[in-house]
């Protein structure tokens, strides 16, 4: 279904009319049908308003997974806001704040900050969070130095219910959006399989070829392999330090001094790297193919679990206005587009399984549930960007930074060259403030259609 009719101007008109910004045919101001008392949000980085805005992250001007900071003086679209900020402003609700803040990572890098709960804040969404699994991207258990808490949605909801004595008042606007990190953790397993196999192939090829000129190639290869393994185990090692250790060990072998010359070892290293990369890619593809059915099934399970949380923990405990958003088109993000076609197809299948089971588990006709289809609109935006005012739907707006490619510490001062204000993606998966504004308008339009505005 085409959604170009939901272009920026149309969305703006629809929302302003629904929310009292327009006038009726008779000239009288319209008012909202409902008045919400608060916005309560559960989910992941797409809804996180500042869980990790502490320590080194805060010092870098970051805290949200978008282009951070109010840079509207530079460009009106660089607001630093996510969709929930826009929603709260439009509905005249208190600005959302993180229910929990902190970091559990590397203290020397400024990523160890005590976890603090904020009783008057009701945005429980956390970057890296999954539906029920407590270990998501960025969690210290994955080896990440950042140490994101990644409290899962199930626990987020339990924490809120404990805060409000087990019941919603029925006047809150509740938002639910999760599942993306369940996809990303599956992809991480694919990447790890390829990385491990590629590193093993590279080490074997390098040791064997550097040892070829030695008096005893077999003994030399063993010595070089030990040097590579020792360096790989050293904290702070780099690809270059591994190569240096291997070449040094190789040149120490009887009859093999010539390998110390770059003209000799350079081509050997380059060839081993090329073949190692190919072996890693093949291993990743094999892992994905072998585990595809399981991975898709697990995403379907996560979707069903999210539906159960909505039904049994939100609706059953008095929530009367619950926005349930499905997963956007993750397969069309830069994170997926940088992968081989087979992996993109697998990502699409996982997202479809999640969304299907999520929707099947909900009564979308229930007056208390608004199921909003972020997948369809994001898919159309990628294919037809112009009607939405988007200038780019394939490249990240943020340039690489101290934390790699994440938008967590991206600001208007470290974006890519040129005007990126109307890019769709801040990093490889998260939306820019402009795209977040479009998401908010889309959700508000759905609320109007539902009769909530």
Domain positions in the chain: 36-179+303-450, 193-281
Report how far residue 111's alpha carbon sits from residue 145's, in angstroms, rounded to the nearest whole number: 7
DSSP characters over 144-187:
-SS-B----HHHHHHHHHHHTTT---S-EEEEEE--HHHHHHHH
pLDDT score recorded for residue 24: 35
What CATH number does domain 36-179+303-450 carry, 3.30.1020.10, 3.40.50.720, 3.40.50.1110, 3.40.720.10?
A: 3.40.50.1110
What integer pLDDT is reported at residue 35 of this predicted model?
87
Is residue 83 over pLDDT 90? Answer: yes
| pLDDT tens-place string over residues 129-139 | 999 999 999 99
Task: Name the band, by pLDDT with cuts 50, 70 and 90, for residue 29.
Answer: very low
- Please give the pLDDT value at position 7: 54
- Mean of the pLDDT values across residues 320-338? 97
pLDDT at position 152 over 90: yes
Q: What is the rounded average pLDDT of the residues 259-271?
A: 97
Angle between helices 217-232 and 180-210 (to 10 degrees): 150
Q: In what order do the strands lie in the sheet with 172-177?
A: 38-43, 172-177, 322-325, 369-372
Which residues are CB-contacts of 373 (< 8 A; sequence separation ≥ 6)? 326
Give the whole-angstrom CA distance, residue 186 versus residue 199. 20
- The predicted structure's pLDDT at residue 86: 98
What is the per-residue pLDDT for 31?
59
Is residue 386 within 8 Å of residue 3, measured between CB atoms?
no
Q: Tokens 């549930």 label which residue?
A: 369
pLDDT greater at residue 20 or residue 362:
362
pLDDT tens-digit readout, 160-203:
999 999 999 999 999 999 999 999 999 999 999 999 999 999 99
**pLDDT classification of 211: cutoffs 50, 70, 90:** very high
pLDDT band at 32 (very low <50, low <70, confident <90, very high): low
Compute, in degrees rounded to 10, the torsion defined by CA atoms 161, 166, 170, 173: 0
**Mean pLDDT of all residues belonging to the chain:** 93
What element of type H or E holds 116? Answer: strand 112-117
Q: Over 90: is that where the pLDDT of 52 sits?
A: yes
- Token couple for 96: 């959302």
Whether pLDDT at 22 is above 50: no
Phi, psi of 350, deg, nearest 5: -65, -45
Does residue 241 carry a pLDDT above 50? Answer: yes
CA 208 to chain centre: 40
SS (H, E, C) 30-80: CCCCCCCCEEEEEECHHHCCCCCCCHHHHHCCCCCCCCECCCCCCCCCCCC
Which pLDDT does position 34 carry in this prediction? 79
Rounded to an integer, what is the distance from CA 33 to the centroid of its chain? 35
Burial class of residue 389 (count of CB atoms within 10 Å of its CB; 0-12, 13-18, 19+): middle
């Amino acid at each position: 279904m085409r959604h170009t009719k939901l272009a920026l101007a149309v969305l703006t008109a629809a929302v302003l009319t629904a929310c009292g910004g327009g006038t009726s045919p008779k000239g009288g101001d319209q008012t909202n049908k409902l008045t919400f008392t608060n916005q309560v949000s559960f989910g992941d980085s797409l809804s996180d308003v500042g869980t990790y805005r502490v320590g080194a992250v805060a010092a870098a001007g970051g805290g949200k997974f978008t282009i951070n900071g109010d840079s509207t003086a530079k460009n009106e679209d660089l607001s630093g806001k996510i969709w929930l900020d826009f929603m709260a402003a439009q509905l005249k609700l208190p600005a959302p704040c993180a229910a929990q803040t902190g970091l559990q990572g590397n203290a020397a890098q400024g990523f160890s900050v005590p976890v603090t709960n904020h009783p008057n804040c009701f945005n429980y969404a956390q970057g890296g969070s999954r539906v029920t699994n407590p270990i998501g991207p960025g969690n210290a258990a994955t080896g990440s130095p950042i140490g994101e808490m990644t409290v899962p949605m199930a626990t987020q909801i339990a924490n809120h219910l404990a805060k409000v004595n087990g019941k919603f008042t029925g006047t809150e606007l509740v938002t639910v959006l999760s599942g993306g990190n369940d996809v990303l953790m599956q992809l991480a397993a694919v990447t790890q399989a390829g990385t491990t196999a590629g590193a093993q192939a590279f080490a074997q090829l390098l040791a064997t070829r550097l040892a070829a000129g030695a008096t005893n190639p077999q003994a030399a290869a063993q010595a070089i392999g030990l040097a590579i393994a020792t360096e790989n185990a050293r904290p702070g090692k780099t690809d270059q330090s591994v190569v240096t250790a291997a070449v040094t060990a190789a040149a120490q072998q009887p009859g093999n001094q010539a390998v110390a010359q770059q003209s000799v070892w350079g081509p050997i290293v380059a060839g081993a790297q090329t073949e190692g990369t190919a072996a890693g890619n093949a291993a990743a593809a094999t892992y994905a193919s072998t585990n595809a059915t399981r991975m898709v099934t697990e995403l379907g399970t996560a979707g069903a679990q999210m539906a159960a949380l909505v039904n049994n923990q939100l609706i059953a405990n008095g929530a009367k206005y619950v926005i349930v958003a499905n997963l956007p088109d993750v397969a069309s993000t830069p994170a997926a587009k940088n992968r081989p076609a087979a992996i993109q197809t697998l990502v699409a299948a996982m997202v479809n399984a999640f969304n299907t089971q999520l929707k099947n588990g909900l009564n979308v006709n229930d007056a208390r549930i608004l199921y909003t289809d972020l997948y369809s609109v994001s898919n159309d935006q990628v294919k037809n960007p112009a009607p939405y005012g988007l200038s780019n739907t394939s490249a990240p707006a943020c340039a690489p930074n101290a934390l790699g490619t994440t938008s967590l510490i991206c600001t208007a001062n470290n974006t890519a060259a040129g005007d990126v204000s109307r890019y769709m993606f801040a990093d490889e998966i998260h939306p820019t403030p402009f795209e977040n504004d479009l998401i908010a308008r889309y959700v508000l339009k759905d609320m109007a259609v539902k009769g909530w505005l």
